[in-house]
Amino acid sequence: MPSVDRRRLLIRAAALAAGAMAPAGWTTAWARTRLPDNPFRLGVASGEPAPDGVVLWTRLAVDPAAPAGGMPPEPVEVGWEIAEDEALRRVVRRGRTIAAPEVGHSVHVETGGLEPDRPYWYRFTAGGHASPVARTRTAPRPGADVQRLRIAYGSCQKYESGFYPAHAALAADDPDLVVFLGDYIYEKAATADGVRRHPEEDCLDLASYRRRYAWYKGDADLQAAHACAPWMVMWDDHEVSNDYGNDQDRSDPDPADFLKRRAAAYQAYFENMPLRAAQRPLGPDMRLYRATDWGRLARLALLDDRQYRGPRPCDAQSRGKFIPKACPERTDPARSMLGADQEAWLQARLGDTPATWNLLGQQTLMMEIVTPDARVSNDGWDGYAQTRRRILEGWRDAKTANPVVLGGDVHCFFAADLALEPGGKPIASEFVGGSIASLGRSKEIVRGMLALHPDLKFGDGDTRGYGRVDITPEACRVTFRGVENALVKNSPVRDLAAFVVEAGEAGLKRA
């Protein structure tokens, strides 16, 4: 069997060969295919806002449940237009591109020449059909004096576990930017006890990952959330395999075989997200960590804590995910959750930021959580304690203005202060925005966590939902928005709790 490094090179070579067959390799004469049914069943989306443009995305599928979305095994020409008004009377940019089967009939249009800090509306056409009209917006100019920013953020939307009223409410909140922090899909086969079901297969190859995304993206509320504003996305584990890190998951597969699976998962992720060509994967490698500025008001840095992390510490002593807090491997300075290159990139972003507010989007709960029997999880920051410490010290030493952490993964709402030692002076504040649909933790477990950790100011594991962040130069207000019952399709959504961090003052306050 080839070594892991050789297998990685082979997979990358295959990815490059596939790229040669992607849209630029097709002629429009082949692509002018008339489709018998609506190919926009997966909706449209935008993302990666810049001062002069955004990414416009769609993926053609006439039947999300069918292999290849029911699309013919040939390219399809796709038109796009972007306008200053919702009626599309004042079109400012338009063009044509190709949706090729080699990339799942997906389209990523990187627009340019737009005005900064304003809304736009866009749509696609293909095969004699038009997509819905959706809204996006550009970022402000670098250094612009921006007075407000609204971000909606969420994670963990297991299709079987509930409906998506959180996404419908998120769209109604009229955000400037949506941030999704992982577990967009879940990779396991359908179970018998879900409130709704997707196809009964594990995602193991490109075709099965593509089908899973198509099933999720057929949800109307998720489509509404994508159509309301540009998105910035980051994956977690279930986009590949539960609890994976680097080239392993909990089943400890052969690393070379796992990299082949990871390459398929990364390709499907790219095909289904509004990402730039710079993020396109090469085999099992895909650089997704990045930062974006919103004038002088805010910088958002997104971290990838899955692809580059070291092996799980003290795995032989684990009970499920939990290992002794005294495990020496978890405090080894050489063990990184982010990898050396990403850590160096982040430290540079902490030092050169001009922003009043510095947001860190990452997948999970960052603060240390210790169980009553002195155990911690080895699947998150507690398994890589020195990486977390280096980030906190980086904020402190660089005097980074107003750091705020946004998280997901744990299926709970949490608000906490982050310090170098429990009960110490806060360096940053952290807000975990619940889960869109995935099941959480019991009241008893959350009460126990609050009792043991004075830096943990709020917790709720019963309620599904998302977080809303309203930023001005003076304050950052975070509102947890809770779904009354995610098992009901149109369940009401209410404010669950709200918190304020005032500029220049470390520590959160209940609003």
Least confident window among 2-11, 138-147, 169-178, 332-341: 2-11
Classify 8 as helix, strand or coil: helix
Report phi then psi at 483, rounded to 5: -85, 130
pLDDT tens digits, one per residue of 435-465:
999 999 999 999 999 999 999 999 999 999 9
DSSP label of 260: H
Mean pLDDT across 250-257 = 95
| Predicted local distance difference test score (pLDDT) of residue 131 | 98
Report phi then psi at 331, rounded to 5: -110, 15
- Supply the DSSP string of 364-431, one letter for each residue: S--S----TTSEEESSSGGGSHHHHHHHHHHHHHHT-SSEEEEE-SSSSEEEEEE-SSTTS--SEEEE
Distance in angstroms (rounded) separating the CA atoms of residues 28 and 210:
25
Classify 360 as helix, strand or coil: strand
Which residue type sits at 339?
G
DSSP label of 139: P
| Predicted local distance difference test score (pLDDT) of residue 1 | 46
Q: Are 248 and 255 in contact (CB under 8 A)?
A: yes
pLDDT band at 285 (very low <50, low <70, confident <90, very high): very high
Q: What is the mean pLDDT of the chain?
A: 94
Distance in angstroms (rounded) separating the CA atoms of residues 220 and 402:
37
**What sign does the dihedral 441-443-448-449 (CA atoms) show?**
positive
Report phi then psi at 343, rounded to 5: -60, -45
pLDDT band at 393 (very low <50, low <70, confident <90, very high): very high
Mean pLDDT across 381-392 = 98
Distance in angstroms (rounded) separating the CA atoms of residues 233 and 235:
7
Q: What angle do CA 64, 66, 68 make, to 5 degrees?
A: 85
DSSP label of 137: E
End-to-end alpha carbon distance in the chain? 59
pLDDT band at 320 (very low <50, low <70, confident <90, very high): confident
CA 429 to chain centre: 20
pLDDT tens digits, one per residue of 101-131:
999 999 999 999 999 999 999 999 999 999 9
Which of residues 33 and 87 earns the better pLDDT score? 87
**What sign does the dihedral 256-257-258-260 (CA atoms) show?**
positive
Q: What is the pTM of this model?
A: 0.95
Mean pLDDT across 255-280 = 98
| Predicted local distance difference test score (pLDDT) of residue 20 | 42
Q: Are 111 and 93 in contact (CB under 8 A)?
A: yes
Whether the per-residue pLDDT at 336 is higher than 80: the answer is yes
pLDDT band at 199 (very low <50, low <70, confident <90, very high): confident
Question: From the CB of residue 41, how many other CB atoms can be counted at a distance below 10 Å?
Answer: 19
Mean pLDDT across 331-356 = 96
Q: 393 CB contacts (<8 Å, ≥6 apart)?
A: 420
Rg (CA), the chain: 22
Classify 348 as helix, strand or coil: helix
Q: Are 207 and 194 in contact (CB under 8 A)?
A: no
pLDDT tens digits, one per residue of 23-69:
554 445 456 678 989 999 999 999 999 999 999 999 999 999 899 99
Which residue type sits at 472?
T
Helices 340-352 + 385-398 axis angle, to 10: 20
